[in-house]
Structure 1
């Protein structure tokens, strides 16, 4: 008679990593309690961090193109207005979600901050 080598608890097979999810009574919790506002704030911060990183990269690339002389005066004006509008929109979004510039600047440990401090 062959026996099933899979360990069980209460007649149920163990799943890999299951012990990490067990509640105090040894049962798998049915729900994870998450503060809705905290999750919203964290997600907004992450999204705005990525957008801010891209905005700064675009700004640096635009300055390089201007320094190389590859743009007309009209293109430079348009680019400047667009970048200013993006910066204003970022400020409004940060204020809407109650975030500061520093909130978006992730600390990468030994690498330093994600966003350069001007």
Structure 2
């Protein structure tokens, strides 16, 4: 039995954007958690904390813009991994 996948260009582009933005959001959240751990452990100077904080805020803002550009909501990036639960 042969299966054919029906692709719609608009849907494929949005789905690809969703996948890429999901990976970027996952990495952003991991970087944020690591920065918090380092700050709590006292491994960062005040200047480093400030720089990391501003960078993470700018990245979060840009993610919102990219989601809006592709008609996605932040909750659209939380992929369902079946028995493993959700990604984010």
Taking structure 1 as the reference length, the TM-score comes to 0.70
2:87 — aligned with what?
114
Does residue 1:42 correspond to 2:24, yes or no? no
Cα RMSD over matched residues? 1.5
Matched, 1:102 2:75: yes
Spell out the pairing of 1:76-87 with structure 2 (5 A cutoff): 76-87=49-60
* Structure 1: 5+ residue stretches without partners: 1-18, 23-31
Point out which structure has higher relative CO (alpha carbons under 8 A, 6+ apart).
Answer: 2
Q: Alignment length, in residue pairs?
A: 88
Stretches of 4+ moved more than 4 A in 1?
Answer: none
**Distance change (3 Å), C-alpha of 1:93 and 1:65:** same
Larger radius of gyration: 1
